[in-house]
């Protein structure tokens, strides 16, 4: 029973997305209400409240994304979990750098033939 406490959930990625979205929405709501309480947003100004909410939703995406990424990293499910067809940006052939020729070939024609 004590080992189950530290086990990550089965759908850790989905949980991280939901937590990030919740942080984004709650942050937007709190900041909007704070601005309205301080008098910066007035109901008399038509569209001002909706514009502020939209802009805050966009900018709170940074905070929500950070919270989501930290939670995802905490579960340690993101390391080495890439699907077989996905490569990182600066590599070709999933692990072989574009600047280094394939192993065992020194002729330019063999190197060029490998990448065509």
> Three-class SS string for 15-61?
HHHHHHHHHHHHHHHHHHHHHHHHCCCCCCCCCHHHHHHHHHHHHHH
Q: How confident is the model at residue 102, as a pLDDT?
A: 54
The reply to whether 40 falls in a domain is yes
The reply to whether 73 falls in a domain is yes
The reply to whether 27 falls in a domain is yes
Is pLDDT at 110 greater than 70 in this prediction? no
Distance CA 27, CA 55 (A): 12
Q: How confident is the model at residue 89, as a pLDDT?
A: 54
The reply to whether 52 falls in a domain is yes
Q: If you average pLDDT over residues 10-21, what whole number do you get? A: 92
Which domain does 53 fall in, by range?
9-79
Q: 47-58 pLDDT, tens per residue?
A: 888 999 999 999
pTM of the predicted protein model = 0.62
Q: If you average pLDDT over residues 99-112, what whole number do you get? A: 58
Q: How confident is the model at residue 80, as a pLDDT?
A: 57
The reply to whether 116 falls in a domain is no
Q: What length does the chain have?
A: 116
Where residue 9 falls among pLDDT bands split at 50, 70, 90? Answer: confident
Stronger pLDDT, 2 or 84, i.e. the higher one: 2
Is pLDDT at 15 greater than 70 in this prediction? yes
The reply to whether 97 falls in a domain is no
Count up the domains in the chain and report the number.
Answer: 1
The reply to whether 17 falls in a domain is yes
The reply to whether 54 falls in a domain is yes
């Amino acid at each position: 029973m004590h080992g189950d406490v530290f086990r990550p959930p089965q759908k850790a990625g989905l949980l991280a997305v939901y937590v990030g979205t919740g942080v984004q929405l709650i942050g937007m709501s709190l900041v909007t209400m704070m601005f309205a309480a301080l008098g910066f947003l007035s109901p008399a100004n038509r569209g001002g409240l909706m514009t502020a909410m939209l802009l805050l939703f966009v900018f709170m995406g940074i905070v929500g994304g950070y919270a989501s990424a930290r939670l995802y990293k905490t579960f340690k499910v993101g390391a080495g979990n890439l699907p077989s067809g996905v490569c990182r940006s600066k590599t070709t052939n999933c692990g072989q750098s574009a600047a280094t020729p394939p192993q065992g070939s020194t002729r330019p024609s063999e190197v060029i033939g490998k990448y065509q």
